[in-house]
A and B are shown apart, each in its own frame.
Chain A
Amino acid sequence: MAGFFSLLRRLYLSLYNWTVLFGWCQVLYFVLKTLNESGHQYVYNAAEKPLLYAQTAAVLEILHGLVGLVRSPVTATLPQISSRLFLVWGILWSFPETRSHVLVTSLLISWSITEIIRYSFFGFKETFGFTPSWLLWLRYSSFLVLYPTGISSEVGLIYIALPFIKASEKYCIRMPNKLNSSFDYFYAAIVAMGIYVPGSPHLYTYMLAQRKKALSKSKRE
């Protein structure tokens, strides 16, 4: 019985990882194709559908961590996925004015390359039980470049969206109301930008520690 569930778990996680990998491959393909053919203004429109699906599917990873399917701590996945969902749905999807900016291109390229490497890594691990050493190295080295570019694009896009957020009343709750509550999306977005200040170095140092651990372990083997 335990063996069956273990097999089922591996089958499910393999399916999940390869499927989302395919999604991110599509994103990268559409981004590069559109860049080549049309220019950065049209990148978002071309890649929108696979982006929304692939990034939103990452919510499942939080569930995987919670139910114990994988060992990664929720405290690591939750902030990262939350910030990405905020970008994808809260900024790009909600405020079309931001979609034509060049930072969308750097964002999507950074994200998709990172995710292609990551999901390949997990896909290999769950399906075949091992990962090639070059993939391990990529997994724990590409973030050195891609996290700074990705994070810069994220913060930049939030900043660019601020005037549009302020001009619209989207996602705002105003008083008076019976619940005596208010919410201002504009200031929430500013707070979100503020969270990147302590959040980014923390994530970066966490990944550096992971890198040290993983690569030194692989050398020993």
Chain B
Amino acid sequence: MKVTVVSRSGREVVKGGIELSDSATVADLQEAIHKRTKKYPSRQRLTLPVQPGSKERPVVLNYKKSLKDYTIGNSETLTVVFKDLGPQVSYRTLFFCEYLGPLLLYPVFYYLPVYQYFGYKGERVIHPVQTYALYYWCFHYAKRILETFFVHCFSHATSPLSNVFRNCAYYWTFGSYIAYYVNHPLYTPVNDLQMKIGFGFGILCQISNFYCHIILKNLRSPGGEGGYQIPRGFLFNIVTCANYTTEIYQWLGFNIATQTVAGYIFLVVATFIMTNWALAKHRRLKKLFDGKEGRPRYPRRWVILPPFL
């Protein structure tokens, strides 16, 4: 089988095309392109050509499928459009980098005399709540890193390198911002009861969040295939994205205990981001599981934040 590889502007990417066996898969094609262009498979986006002026969305080739699936009739030739997605990193790498920052930066504000450089001389009195906040915070991000390596399943997809910088900027900046205020020499602690309620509620939510991630992981186990399934069990029976719900509430607990504007700003931003993700997922699941043609109907559930949404 002869495959012609062109760019979106029509330029030939691989001179003379690529000759492959009739049983070759898309993955084989990607390896062949890699040999000829140095662009490794995960940064290749291969689609079928679309008619000029057509509004139709191009068909993206699935690496698991046979090339034969994309040919018309018994044709011995195939043309694909190649797009370079740029440097890619695995999601594991992405998550590790973004979570490592907050884990390391927060203790800097607690342990080291950084406030001298902000004009605060003299001894810094440490309140118990600040110590517990340190433990809570480090537990949270350590948990996330451990989940990244031992709980979460990642698909074949990768993430652009630019997302590493964007996500790290987000997590590291907010981490430092919150750390600055919680550990500040002029920090005003809340009363003991409020602290206990906040941290207690927060820990409960962190543990629930972990259990939600276990449920999501087990959702993928049978067959190991991708595809969407209706999450069931625990809070998923009530909320579509119970993992996001527990994430939001655990930050709420942290904020109740520590009470900083920085923390609440982070909570609002995180809630906004996760709500968008949750709405998209909820919409997708309702569309996929519409109760027609033998498919189960998606049950009525909150999206992310009962009783509001």
Please report A residues at the B interface, Cβ cutoff 8 Å: 175-182
Contacts and interface: CB of A to CB of B under 8 A. Distances in A.
Interface string B181-207: 110101110000000000000000000
- Interface majority SS on A: helix, strand, loop or mixed? loop
A182 B261 CA distance: 9
A194 to B, nearest CB: 15
A178 B181 CA distance: 12
A177 B262 CA distance: 13
A175 B260 contact: no
Nearest to A177: B188
Contacts of A180: 181-182, 184, 187-188, 258-262
Contacts of A176: 186-188
Nearest to A180: B260
A178 B259 CA distance: 8
6 contacts: A180-B181, A180-B187, A180-B260, A181-B260, A181-B261, A182-B181
A181 B186 contact: no
Contacts of A177: 188
A50 to B, nearest CB: 37
B259 A179 contact: yes
B55 to A, nearest CB: 22
A181 to B, nearest CB: 4
A92 B261 CA distance: 29
A182 B260 CA distance: 10
Contacts of A182: 181
A181 B188 contact: no
A180 B188 CA distance: 6
A25 to B, nearest CB: 42
B187 A181 contact: no
A177 B188 CA distance: 6
Give the size category of B's interface with A: 10 to 19
A182 B184 CA distance: 11
Nearest to A179: B261
A179 B260 contact: yes
Contact of A175 (B187, B258, B259): B187
A175 B180 CA distance: 12
Given A175-B184, A180-B259, 9 more contacts: A176-B186, A176-B188, A178-B259, A179-B259, A179-B260, A180-B182, A180-B184, A180-B187, A180-B258
A182 B259 CA distance: 13
Interface in B247-268: 258-262
A133 B257 CA distance: 63
Interface string B126-170: 000000000000000000000000000000000000000000000
A176 B182 CA distance: 12
Interface in B23-82: none
Given A180-B181, A181-B181, A175 B186 contact: yes
| Top 7 A-B residue pairs of the complex, sorted by shortest distance between their CB atoms | A181-B261, A175-B186, A176-B186, A180-B260, A176-B188, A180-B181, A179-B261
A126 B93 CA distance: 54
A180 B178 CA distance: 10
Nearest to B260: A180
A175 B188 CA distance: 8
Nearest to B259: A180
B255 to A, nearest CB: 10
A183 to B, nearest CB: 9
A180 B186 CA distance: 8
Contacts of B186: 175-176
Contacts of A175: 184, 186-188
A178 B182 CA distance: 12
Contacts of A181: 181, 260-262
B19 to A, nearest CB: 45
A220 B100 CA distance: 57
Contacts of A178: 188, 259
Nearest to B190: A178
Contacts of B261: 179-181
Contacts of A179: 259-261
Nearest to A183: B261
